[in-house]
């Protein structure tokens, strides 16, 4: 584990923030290339990129505070209230970012007369790649850690914030691997001629969301960090299942309708 690259009396450079920056830059490059390949207006995303990112960060922060409310509101005081705005404490949750950014982006597309589904095919692969890179930063930082394990690849983290002193699942590496596989798969699907012939925008993006939710749901079984639960089920898993089912339903509907239309034209 290597959470801090270097430190002075006035400043600390965290490995997590370095990988966060790399993730944003890499995802932006991929997004632009995919947008150009799909003949989408880069100007639209250029004008709104920072707004989407900011809303994503706000959503991630709100979700983190809501799920870790005992940390921020263990007592009523001005100091605890101000801690809400201490963004450098790395208190962000992926689900909050995804929900907030998606809702805001959907509204933007409606207002600007943009095809939300086409943009989904571009944004989802780029986002999943960014998450994969971010997982490396999480590994070095010791966040999003796993439960105790006797597997040969289990790791020890020298971090007081981690509640286990025994080898644990490297869940960050698991996430990096499955996110990378999903990204490569989406790139392959996007180039598939049969999918292109269907002209069913949103297929790549929806497959990416469903695949990510499935693996995220499985990952939560070996996650060791504290998580908000309802009836002994993690909220993250509930959200994953709901999103996956919802996504598959939309995917089937769009794919089936498009295939039926093509079949009718041929007849």
SS3 string of 107-175? HHHHHHCCCHHHHHHHHHHHHHHHHHHHHHHHHHHCCCCECECCCCCCECCCCCCCCCCCCECCHHHHH
In a domain, 70, yes or no: no
Q: Is residue 81 included in any domain, yes or no?
A: no
pTM: 0.82
CB-CB neighbours of 118 under 10 Å: 18
* In-domain check, residue 201: yes
- Identify whether 154 is part of a domain: yes
Q: What is the pLDDT along the chain (267 residues), one digit of tens a residue?
A: 666 776 677 667 778 888 888 998 999 899 989 998 888 888 888 888 888 888 888 888 777 776 666 666 666 666 666 666 666 565 667 778 888 888 898 999 999 889 899 999 999 999 999 999 999 998 988 888 999 999 999 998 877 778 888 999 999 999 999 999 999 999 998 887 666 655 678 889 999 999 999 999 999 999 988 777 777 888 888 888 999 999 999 988 877 766 666 555 555
Whether 258 is covered by a domain: the verdict is yes
Please give the DSSP secondary-structure letter assigned to residue 234.
Answer: E
What was the pLDDT predicted at 175? 96
Residues 6+ apart with CB under 8 A from 267: none
187 backbone φψ class: left, alpha, beta (φ>0; ψ -120 to 50) = alpha
Determine how β-strand 229-230 pairs with β-strand 4-7.
Answer: unpaired
Residue 51 resides in a domain: no
Q: Is residue 257 part of a domain?
A: yes
Q: Which domain holds residue 120?
A: 4-40+115-266
Count other C-beta atoms under 10 Å from residue 101's C-beta: 22
Buried b (16+ CB within 10 A) or exposed e, 207-237: bbbbbbbbbbbebbebbbeeeeeeeeebbbb
Among candidates 176, 94, 97, 170, which has minimal Cα distance to 129?
176
Q: Is 92 inside a domain boundary?
A: no
For tokens 């105790």, what's the residue? 148
Strand segments (E) across the chain: 4-7, 12-14, 229-230, 233-234
Which pLDDT score, from 0 to 100, does residue 198 have? 59
Tell me how many domains the chain contains.
1
What is the distance between the alpha carbons of residues 33 and 70, in angstroms, rounded to a whole number? 43
């Amino acid at each position: 584990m290597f959470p801090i690259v270097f430190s002075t009396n006035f400043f600390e450079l965290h490995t997590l923030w370095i990988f966060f920056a790399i993730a944003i830059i890499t995802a932006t490059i991929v997004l632009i290339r995919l947008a150009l390949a799909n003949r989408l207006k880069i100007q639209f995303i250029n004008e709104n990129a920072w707004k989407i990112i900011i809303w994503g960060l706000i959503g991630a922060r709100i979700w983190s505070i809501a799920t870790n409310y005992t940390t921020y509101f263990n007592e009523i005081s001005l100091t605890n209230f101000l801690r809400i705005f201490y963004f450098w404490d790395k208190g962000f949750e992926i689900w909050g970012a995804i929900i907030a950014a998606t809702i805001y982006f959907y509204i933007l597309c409606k207002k600007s007369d943009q095809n939300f589904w086409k943009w989904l095919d571009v944004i989802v692969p780029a986002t999943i790649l960014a998450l994969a890179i971010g997982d490396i930063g999480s590994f070095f930082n010791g966040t999003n850690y796993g439960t105790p394990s006797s597997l040969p690849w289990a790791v020890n983290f020298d971090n007081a914030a981690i509640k286990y002193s025994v080898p644990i699942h490297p869940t960050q590496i698991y996430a990096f691997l499955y996110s990378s596989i999903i990204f490569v798969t989406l790139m392959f699907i996007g180039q598939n001629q049969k999918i292109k012939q269907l002209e069913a925008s949103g297929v790549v993006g929806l497959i990416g969301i469903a695949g990510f939710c499935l693996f995220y749901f499985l990952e939560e079984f070996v996650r060791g960090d504290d998580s908000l639960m309802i009836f002994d089920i993690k909220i993250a898993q509930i959200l994953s299942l709901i999103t996956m089912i919802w996504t598959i339903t939309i995917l089937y509907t769009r794919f089936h309708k498009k295939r039926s239309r093509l079949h009718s034209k041929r007849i």
